[in-house]
Structure 1
Amino acid sequence: MQRFELVRYTDVSGVSGTGIVAEGIQFSDGSVALRWLSQYPCTAVWESLEALLAIHGHSGSTVVRWIDQASGEADECAGLGTEECPAS
């Protein structure tokens, strides 16, 4: 499991604000649980980090900041699971 923060640089929707807007965890099967840090907090579960970012990434305005990384991963690859950075 790897913990992360969702960091928003630009609030496209005008709802969540900027800075750290959510806390999350990615499980070993790739699924993600996310807790929004808003006036009305809620928790959501996603099939994958890619699915979460497809909805809430806002074309790069929101990024994942990893708190934990799998052993042996470079900082820039921690948990990304992309072609350049295979999932552990």
Structure 2
Amino acid sequence: MRTFELHRDTDVSGISGTGVVAEGVEFSDGTAVVRWVVGEHQSTVVWPSLASVEAIHGHGGATRVVMTP
């Protein structure tokens, strides 16, 4: 199990702002869970993989997955 944060450099959607916008966990089977920590409608979402998270929320490099110690 590894933990990570989503660091948003540019807010492409105009909703979540910049900086650390979400926290997450990648489980040993590759499943990723993301907890949005900013915005009016915070949520928790389960994804099949970290690659899926990056594909949807990466916005072409505007948001980065940063692994945490």
TM-score by length of 1: 0.75
Match of 2:20 in 1: 20
Q: Paired residues, what number?
A: 68
Match of 1:64 in 2: 65
Partner letter of residue 55 of structure 2?
A
Distance 1:21 1:6 in 2: 6
Unaligned runs of 5+ in 2: none
5 Å-filtered alignment, 1:1-88, equals 1-38=1-38, 39-68=40-69
The structure 1 segments of at least 4 consecutive aligned residues displaced by more than 4 Å after TM superposition are: none
Distance 2:66 2:55 in 1: 16
Identity %: 54
Higher gyration radius (CA)? 1
| CA RMSD of superposed structures (Å) | 0.7
Distance 1:61 1:48 in 2: 19
Distance 2:7 2:30 in 1: 20
Distance 1:12 1:40 in 2: 17
